[in-house]
Structure 1
Amino acid sequence: MASQSAGIQQLLQAEKRAAERVAEARKRKNRRLKQAKEEAQAEIEQYRLQREKEFKAKEAAALGSHGSCSEEMEKETSAKMSIILENYKQNREKVLEDLLSFVCDIKPEIHVNYRING
């Protein structure tokens, strides 16, 4: 009987050691998973920062070119306005003369459709 009892004790101790090893293995596994997750988060953050930097560079380039287009349009508009003002100054007197002559120089005539009853 003593040997059965000793055998059972050895089995219980072996089971206890196995359970401790399994628990330790689970702890190591959880630590590795946590470490892998942290490394992945760091890598994701680094990738995100890199992509954001590239996006900002492209955005700045696009807005820079858009800004130069805006400046170009301002110059073009300014040039056209100066041409229009120059034409206005050159033709103002002639237009006023023509307008005044049409208004003041009246030549009365009878309309072709007017009928004199008589």
Structure 2
Amino acid sequence: MTSQSQGIQQLLQAEKRAKDKLDEAKKRKGKRLRQAKEEAVAETDQYRMQMEKDFRLKQAKIMGSQSHLSDEIEEQTLEKIKELNGSYNKCMESVIKQLLSMVCDMKPEVHVNYRATN
């Protein structure tokens, strides 16, 4: 009977060791899963930061060129305004003389399509 109880004790101890090993394996698995999750989060954060940095560089490059274009357009506009003002000042006197001569030098005459009615 002692051999049976000794055998049962051995089985119980083996079962306890197996249970302890399973618990330890579950703990290691949980720890590894947490570690993998942390690594994945760190990797995605690093990737996100790199993409944001690239985006900011591209955005700055594009916005910089746009501001350069707007400066260039502003300069061209001012140049065109100066050109038009010069043309206006140059031709203003002759245009005014021409208008005044048309208004003041009227020659009254009957229109060719006019029909006299009695």
Do they superpose with TM above 0.5?
yes
**Residue 11 of structure 1: CA displacement?**
0.6
Give the secondary structure class of the aligned counterpart of 1:48: helix
AA in 2 matched with 1:106: M
Moved more, 19-28 or 40-49: 40-49
AA in 2 matched with 1:21: K
1:11 aligns with 2:11: yes
| Matching residue of 1:42 | 42
Gaps of 5+ in 2: none
**How many pairs does the alignment contain?**
118
Deviations 1:61-107 (A, max 9, x none): 11111111111101111110000000000011111111111112111
CA distance in 1: counterparts of 2:24 and 2:44, whole angstroms: 30
Q: CA RMSD in A?
A: 1.2
Calculate the TM-score normalised by the size of structure 2. 0.94
CA distance in 2: counterparts of 1:75 and 1:113, whole angstroms: 55
Q: What percent of counterpart residues are identical?
A: 54
CA distance in 2: counterparts of 1:117 and 1:15, whole angstroms: 135
Gaps of 5+ in 1: none
Moved over 2 A (4+): none
Written as runs of structure 1 = structure 2, the 5 A alignment for 1:24-35 is 24-35=24-35
Written as runs of structure 1 = structure 2, the 5 A alignment for 1:1-118 is 1-117=1-117
CA distance in 1: counterparts of 2:52 and 2:117, whole angstroms: 92
Give the secondary structure class of the aligned counterpart of 1:108: coil
Calculate the TM-score normalised by the size of structure 1. 0.94
